[in-house]
Structure 1
Amino acid sequence: FIWLRIYSTVFSPKRSNWKVNSVEETTVSVSGLSVEDKEAGYWKKEYIAKQITSVKTALAQVLQPVSPYTGLPVKTKEALRISGLGWTIVLREKSGKEYIMQHVDLSLNDTSVTVVWYGKNWPCLATLTTLDLCGVTPVFMDWHKPPAKNGPRWHSLIAKYDLSHLMESTMIGCDRLVQIFCLHPGLLVGLWKKEEELAFIMANLHFHHLVERSTLGSASVPYELPLHSPFLDDSPEYGLHGYQLHVDMHGGGVFYLCGTFRNLFTKKGCIEDGYVKLVVINFKNNREHLPLIGKVGLAWRTNIFDGFIKSCSIVDITLLDEHRKPFWCLSSPVCMRSAACPSDGPNFLGQTYYVDYMDTEGRVHAELVWIEETEEYFIVSLVLYLSVAKINHWFGQN
């Protein structure tokens, strides 16, 4: 009966009479509905289902205008605000016990959001098996008021991570207090060096379909992205052409690189090991080389300590196809690794470094040079390798 009253108050048509108070109004609306002929839990399920539909409809309107600059919705930040969206992690032990932690801090970037968790009461890492990253939205949504802090929340699973072999994965950086590990997609886990226990967790979420993935799934099943309708490739003999890349490199709210590269192309037949090569910054063209602004590193903090991990950062990639539709989007921690020997090309006065990223859809390879005289990094090469399988799926061809 309680859920029937909630449902009727929010969704049922009400008689409009300025003399009727809210209690009488609710009674009028409930009288048109019935409790007896419905199974237990029916009106609760109906309310939640309809609430999700109404949130989806409202957010779809907000997210409709698209930026020609990034190919992403212009009002993503506004959608995050009005939906009351937050993020939580669910740490699960071998015994089945769960620890649910709300995010402590977040920072909005041009094309991504960085969400952080830290605290004093982490469970022992050795007992943990998995980590679920979920978006959380209020079950009772009032678009004109901020959501209640302690109200019920709807969980939407974004990604599931395996923590049982965390220490065996590749460490991407460290300072005197912590060492950090990267789990795909986009999760950064910081461990105290001394105890090898959790210090902080940082999730990097690209804006592409972020609102949908954070609100429209369930606690156990992620939101299923809409099926891609293949674009007709009207000129396959020319390979890929007219692509646009927006790339950000940042760490702890400080941006080191923010650039847009237009009219990217690759010739037909330029395939290596199942990848198509898309050159963004040409190693042999000095005019294309770009400096990184500031001291590159990743800032972190907890309740007690803070620090700065050199040569690590977050990279956001937004690649648009010739129709300005998002083709490949990612947000992930990366690190600069010293190169034993630089590639063939112009001679530089400084140490060479590589930045690499790879997932099922493609790879990113960047080459940087440290210039001693000016004490700054220069990107002298940036290449994207796009999976042939991804391209075939995108165009519906072989």
Structure 2
Amino acid sequence: MSSPSMNAQRRDAGQPSVIKSKSIPRKQRKATPQHPSVYRMTSKRKERTSEKSFERMPPEIILRIFSYLDPGSLFCIGLVNKHFQELSNSNFMWYQFYIRDCMKKKKAGREGRAIHDLGVQERPKGYWRNAFFKETAGLNVNKWRTKLKRIDPYSGLPRHTEDVIRSLCITWEITVTDGRGRRSTFEQSHASFSGTAVFVFWGAVTWPPFNQLTSLELHGVLRVPLDCPAPYRPCWKSVMSKIKLQGDHCEVCVSDKIVKMLYVGQGVTLGFWKDQWEIAFIMVNLHNHRLVERSLHASISPRPAAGVSALFDDVDPEYGLHGYAAYIELHDTVRVIMSDRFSQLFCRRDQICDGYLPLEVISENNRSSNTYLVGDVSLPWRTEALHGTIKDCCMINLTVTDEAKQPFWCVSAPVVMTKASQDTVSYDFGGEGFSILYRDSEGRVEMRLKQMDYKEQYFVVNLVIYIAVAKVNKHFGRDY
């Protein structure tokens, strides 16, 4: 017969031993760890439950909670979902912000109370939010248009353009599109102002390959100064120009040991690393003529204002051929190299040739009108890692006004100074001859210079502005 101890050993050999929990003190017990996915599922369930419970709240309670938010937080919470977007557009809350902002600027009072009496909720949804954004951004059209009416008699352009742009915090962006339709947007690196133009630079970004790009768009941007991250701030964007990058391009303007530049029109210049077509930087020159309106037209009106055409004058047989004035400025990104104004420019009917009206600004026979360039002609550039200077290159800003002192032809683009192919003999200037040329669909500029032998100085000995006859006929209603 087997003993009880032997039977116990057999049972133990056939089954695993089980230790009862009673034999282990409670202090020494360890909780059985759960799988990490269990925690994730639990946390997600809690988040979904909290979200659903918050969304199930009555709209009155949610609006009451939203009323404690500042404008920036209220705008950002509208980006969470459609339900919050609808509630965050409450006319009542945004009206309170609007009135509070007006009170700070001392513009509220009886007018605000009268509007409140008429009923805030009767306005379309989002009305007071947009009104608050425009008020906060300083988009008071009458105010800055009145400021831009003060014209500088020397340049013929508004004298407070820079002040208005800085007060409105206007910036510019570039959007490039590749062959697959993918769009990339880049904010400006910095901007500098001259008397007649704004020089905007993009240099601290990584651009897509140039051979894959099909178009480039320049936008004027006005952001509302809310207390929220810059990418989420509401803004107005206006398409100022759109340039196709496929097909033939202009020739390379000029280059140095590191980069080469290509002008693609409408004031836009692309800089490439030498011996390859990778974009290093982009420069944009914007003429001050109607610059504020062009940068903001999407926010003030659906379309930009049309140009003003002169009225037909059948009394003057030479109408449209005289009374012109020109203000020309050569500059780099930092300083002005040359600036001068010339008036009483005219062209006789028999001087019209090859579809152009020549306006002789500086003539070799008239020594009194000679002007000169101050310093070297060069254009500095800078990227995030490198910087340099391209010699014999600068920017030209030209403003031609008509007899009514209205801007008639405006140019803002890079130009290159080259050695003159046919140098003329001059007894007053014995140095080498150089030329600066500019051309577009509306006209061209031809400038000849002489370098002094004993000084690093250039004198302009000849300057002629050619205006397309088609442009003159369209503006003045003539048929030259």
* TM-score (structure 2 length as normaliser): 0.71
* SS of equivalent to 1:47: helix
Whether the aligned pair in 2 keeps the contact of 1:8 and 1:30 (CA below 8 Å) is no
1:164 is aligned to 246
SS, match of residue 311 in structure 2: coil
Which secondary structure state, in structure 2, belongs to the residue aligned with residue 328 of structure 1? strand
After TM superposition, give the deviation of residue 216 of structure 1 in Å: 0.9
Deviation, 1:182, is 0.7
Note the alpha carbon deviations across 1:13-71, whole angstroms, 9 max, x for none: 9999xxxxxxxx9xx79963159xx7xxx637993899499543332122122222222
| TM-score normalised according to structure 1 size | 0.84
Over residues 227-278 of structure 1, what are the superposed CA-to-partner deviations in whole Å (9 max), with x where a residue is unaligned? 4242344533376333221111011212110111122222233201111110
For 1:152, the equivalent position in structure 2 comes to 234
In the aligned structure 1, how far is the partner of 2:348 from the partner of 2:229?
A: 55
The whole-number CA distance in structure 2 between the counterparts of 1:161 and 1:329 is 19
Indicate yes or no: 2:466 matched with 1:372. no
8 Å CA contact 1:3, 1:47 repeated in 2 = no
| Aligned equivalents of 1:45, 1:182: Cα separation in 2 | 44
- The one of 381, 387, 392 aligned to 2:468: 387
Distance 1:45 1:260 in 2: 48
CA distance in structure 2 between the partners assigned to 1:115 and 1:258 by the alignment = 20
Name the counterpart of 2:220.
135
Greater percentage in strand: 1
User: What is aligned with 2:204?
Assistant: 119
More helix by share: 2
- Aligned 8 A contact 2:254 2:260 in 1: yes
Q: Conserved in 2, the CA contact under 8 Å of 1:56 and 1:216?
A: no
Shift of 1:128: 1.3
Contact preservation (8 Å) 2:148, 2:158: yes
Q: Matched residue pairs, number?
A: 376
Report the equivalent of 1:237.
Answer: 318
Please tell me whether the aligned partners of residues 392 and 417 of structure 2 are also in contact (alpha carbons under 8 angstroms).
yes
User: CA, structure 1 residues 222+310, in 2 after alignment: closer, same or farther (shift >3 Å)?
Assistant: farther
Higher CA-based Rg? 2
Shift of 1:86: 0.4
Unpaired runs of 5+ in structure 1? Answer: 17-24
SS at match of 1:119: coil
Matched with 1:226 is 306
Tell me whether 231-240 or 322-331 shows the greater mean CA deviation. Answer: 231-240
Task: Report the CA distance between 1:117 and its aligned residue.
Answer: 0.3
Bigger relative contact order (CA 8 A; separation at least 6): 1
Provide the C-alpha distance between the structure 1 equivalents of 2:102 and 2:399, rounded to a whole number of angstroms.
Answer: 50
8 Å CA contact retained: 2:325, 2:344: yes
C-alpha distance after superposition, 1:361-393 (max 9, x if no partner): 211111112233212222111100111111122
Secondary structure at the aligned position of 2:270 is classed as strand
> SS of 2:130's equivalent?
helix
User: In the alignment, is the contact (CA less than 8 A) between 1:245 and 1:318 conserved in 2?
Assistant: yes
**Alignment-derived partner of residue 254 in structure 1:** 335
Q: Report if aligned partners of 2:95, 2:132 keep a CA contact under 8 Å in 1.
A: no
CA distance in 2, matches of 1:202, 1:239: 35
Q: Conserved in 1, the CA contact under 8 Å of 2:357 and 2:466? A: yes
Paired residue for 1:59?
144
Give me the identity figure in percent. Answer: 31
Q: Does the CA contact (< 8 Å) of 2:430 and 2:452 recur in 1?
A: yes
Q: Secondary structure at the match of 1:389?
A: helix
Whether 1:33 and 2:114 are equivalent positions in the alignment is no
What is the DSSP-based 3-state SS (H/G/I as helix, E as strand, rest coil) of the residue aligned with 1:273?
coil
Paired amino acid for 1:32: V
Which of 158, 179, 201 is the aligned partner of 1:94? 179
Q: CA deviation at 1:134?
A: 0.6
| Residue 373 (structure 2) pairs with residue 288 (structure 1) | no
5+ unaligned residues in a row in structure 2: which ranges? 1-86, 104-112
| 50-59 vs 298-307, which moves further | 50-59
**171-180 or 125-134: bigger deviation:** 125-134
Q: Is this contact kept in 2: 1:284–1:346, CA < 8 A? A: no
Cα-to-partner distance string for 1:171-190 (whole Å, 9 max, x where unaligned): 11111000001111111111
CA RMSD of aligned residues (A): 3.3
